[in-house]
Amino acid sequence: FLAMPEVTGSVYKEDVFSNRKDAEGMLWRAYHRALRDGLPEGWGIYHGTLASLSGEISRGYSWHNGYTVVVNGPDPANVPQGIPAMYDEGWQVIRICWLVIENIDMVPEAELSTEMKEYMKGEAYALMAYRYMGMLYRWGGVPIVNKAFAMTDDLNIPRASVEQTVNHILSLVTEAYNRLPDDWVDIESGVGEKWVGRMTKGAALAIKARTLTFAA
């Protein structure tokens, strides 16, 4: 009882991927951050929607993020979590996805089947491809990250060319497509449509098509 308790608040990957619920929570975090690419968090259900920005409904109060856009125009420098935050968050999403890919197999088979683990890896690859696509739109070539870095790794990754970035997106799409299901209806016994809305083979192909159209 005299042992020093863990008081740092640290969360270890061995704990996160020791059970299905926490492992899925990591993937949900990637979904939440990846799919709102370009939109600040916390806009709420009204403020920041098209109706609010166009004047159809209230612009909100001065502490709402959408208010700043309405008053000052679409200047990224005046939007909380604007362009710099979008860039930073892209790497956060990519790290989360790599953590899922590299560690999901630690979840006990009794809680998460091998098939579902492969689906989740596919989702992580697709989410990375989606976020890299958004960065390609804005910045062209960006660094290529192929793993979840440790503190001891060299983080000075050079900027890739546009062509290398496009090819990386396509490789991520291929990895996703080879793992994702066509749809999620009854993907597990008795779940019905519970998981509808998650990444599918069709979604991966849509990312590929949009990337190639932009690159062309």
pLDDT reading at 76 higher than 60: no
Q: Is residue 68 helix, strand or coil?
A: helix
Q: What pLDDT, on a 0 to 100 scale, did the predictor assign at position 78?
A: 47
Q: What pLDDT, on a 0 to 100 scale, did the predictor assign at position 42?
A: 52
Place 90 in a pLDDT band, splitting at 50, 70 and 90.
confident
φ, ψ dihedrals at 153, nearest 5°: -80, 155
Q: Which residue has the higher pLDDT, 9 or 106?
A: 106
pLDDT reading at 83 higher than 60: no
Q: Is the dihedral of CA 215, 126, 101, 132 positive or negative?
A: positive
pLDDT reading at 48 higher than 70: no
pTM of the predicted structure, to 2 decimals: 0.81
Average pLDDT on 173-202 reads: 95
Question: Mean pLDDT of all residues in the chain?
Answer: 85
Average pLDDT on 117-145 reads: 95
DSSP-derived secondary structure letter, 10:
-
pLDDT tens, position by position, 94-120: 999 999 999 999 999 999 999 999 999
Structure tokens at 46: 């009204």
Average pLDDT on 90-97 reads: 93
Is there a contact between 77 and 37 (Cβ–Cβ < 8 Å)? no
Q: Which of 112, 106, 100 is nearest to 199 (CA)?
A: 100
